[in-house]
Amino acid sequence: MSKKSLVIKVVKAQGVWSNSGASDDNRWMSAAISASWQALGRSGVNPPVGCVLISKDRQLLAVGRTGRGGVPHAEVDALQSLCDVGRSALKGGTAYVTLEPCAHQGKTPPCSDALIGAGIGRLVVAVQDPDQRVNGAGLSQIAAANIDIRLGVMQREAEELLLGFKNRLQKGKPFCSLKIATSMDGRVGLSDRKKRWLTGAPMRRYVHLLRSQNDAIVTGVGTVLSDDPRLNCRNEGIADDSPPIYVFDRLLRTPTTAKLFESQHKVTFFCGGSATHRRHNELMAAGALIVQLPDDPSGRPDVTAGMQYLGEQGVNHALVEAGPGLATSIIAADAVDRIYWTQSNHILGADSLAAIDNLGTEPLNEIAILPEKKYVQADYRVIGDDRLVTLNKSHLNSL
């Protein structure tokens, strides 16, 4: 059987590889995955990909990742960093890529052509590209050039970074994470609703990093009115990675003096049909974009429609930072794929604000009881004096 036909079989049967692996394949793929983390939240509509180039005698030559806004692709980024000696040393060497190289002409020429032209002798890929413009075509083209291929190395680890890209392609909406900061007894603030920090500075720095790894921050008007947040990235070195902000604001009550308008991006407001033309005009004059969504049964802008809009805008990862109102709506709409639940050492008492509002009997049964709706703990860590529990929708455990 030719290499080409064997790779086509691999494409159709996940987990079958076309050749035996080198002893250090996991080592170099791990380096490629580390590089792709640096592209997460920064690659625009494109997936965050990492690439490592190794010489024939197994020496590191170059590391690349998807560039800001998606250009260049990781393979091209790595190839462009090579000097003449490096390009010569790559002949017969190996390329490690976290996602199948593209084989179509988009903003850039096909990466499959670039790797073939570079003279590699072997390609190791973690994940086959779900994009129908690729989806095996890159592997087939490279196999036709008599280049050995191994598919599926560290696939699970690489797929973690591609969740948003795959979710948008397959479901038309971003991978949605909800961040909640509470006291030990699950409360988000005192009844006076005045802004107070629950978690300490180390946890807040972690949240700023988390923001930088998302393509959009979603919040509600209640949070804007009570906290007047900036929702940007204020850790040293990542200020330029602050993502665009989207606000669910049914009546467009956000004041034009809100700190959100300091964002380097245009702020988008999701409103309902009851918002006045005056508020439309005032917010647009302040530089905002207004998107009217259909109302849900409770009369609020429909969360599902908002997520679909984000998907149409090319958002792969969305992080929701909001108060009990929007948090409850987005959970009730079954729109949350992951929860980052931070917990401080405070005890606020029963008269303080709960993290989640009353769900009602029917939604409670749908969300909390059915196994497919369940959230499962995926990670636990201590950051400063606070705790972070990461919970995934149960279906993610099968990836």
- List the catalytic residues: 75
Q: How many CB atoms lie within 10 A of CB 181?
A: 21
Q: How many CB atoms lie within 10 A of CB 155?
A: 18
Q: Is the peptide bond before 324 cis (omega within 30 degrees of 0)?
A: no
Cα 395 from Cα 308, distance rounded (Å): 20
Q: DSSP string covering 171-191, please?
A: HSS-EEEEEEEE-TTSEEE-T
* E strand intervals along 255-343: 268-271, 289-292, 317-321, 338-343
Q: Pairing between strand 245-248 and 122-127? A: unpaired
**What pairs with residue 342 in β-bridges?**
181, 388
**What pairs with residue 24 in β-bridges?**
none
Helix 155-171, helix 25-37: angle, nearest 10: 40
**What pairs with residue 251 in β-bridges?**
none
Q: Which residues contact 193 (CB under 8 A, 6 or more apart)?
A: 226, 353
Cα 243 from Cα 25, distance rounded (Å): 34
Q: Terminal CA-to-CA distance of the chain, rounded, Å?
A: 31
